[in-house]
Amino acid sequence: MITGIIVFAHGSRIEAANQTVRVAAADLARAGDYPVVEAAFLELGIPGLEEAADQLVARFVERIVVIPYFLTPGTHLERDLPALIERISKKHKSLEIVVTASLDGHPGLVQILADRARTVEPQTLK
């Protein structure tokens, strides 16, 4: 079974912000474990989630893992994402779609915060 990944973000009017999500998706694909990866956006970015799913289906993906690129759960993940998943599932009936948790609560976030804090001159942390 071919699995594709969709890194699903909110989207921004600032195209550079959308591009950073695309770069993260491309980096994930280059990491090796998941070579079929697309970025997708809820709004304000292209492609949308449904379009990204269509692209993956065209690449013979039979299972999609959606990774919400959101720091915390909220309305978009609790209301909007399930509605989009339902629409995609109706369109592609044989497609299996799994949604992971958001980034909230992942232990790696603490390490990222610590790494960012270390980038500041030590005297400014006092």
Enter the pTM of the model. Answer: 0.89
What digits encode the pLDDT tens for the residues 48-73? 999 999 999 999 999 999 999 999 88
Comparing CA positions, the residue from 30, 32, 31, 38 lying closest to residue 6 is 38
Average model confidence (pLDDT) for the chain? 92
**Residue 96's beta-bridge partner residues?**
63
Q: Please give the pLDDT value at position 51.
A: 97
Q: Which CATH fold topology does 3-125 show?
A: Rossmann fold (3.40.50)
Confidence of residue 120 (pLDDT cuts 50, 70, 90): confident
> Coil, strand, or helix at residue 15?
helix
CB 96 within 8 A of CB 36: no
What's the CA dihedral at 100, 54, 38, 21 to 10 degrees?
-80
Domain extent listing, the chain:
3-125
Q: Please give the pLDDT value at position 22.
A: 97
What digits encode the pLDDT tens for the residues 97-118? 999 999 998 989 999 988 988 8
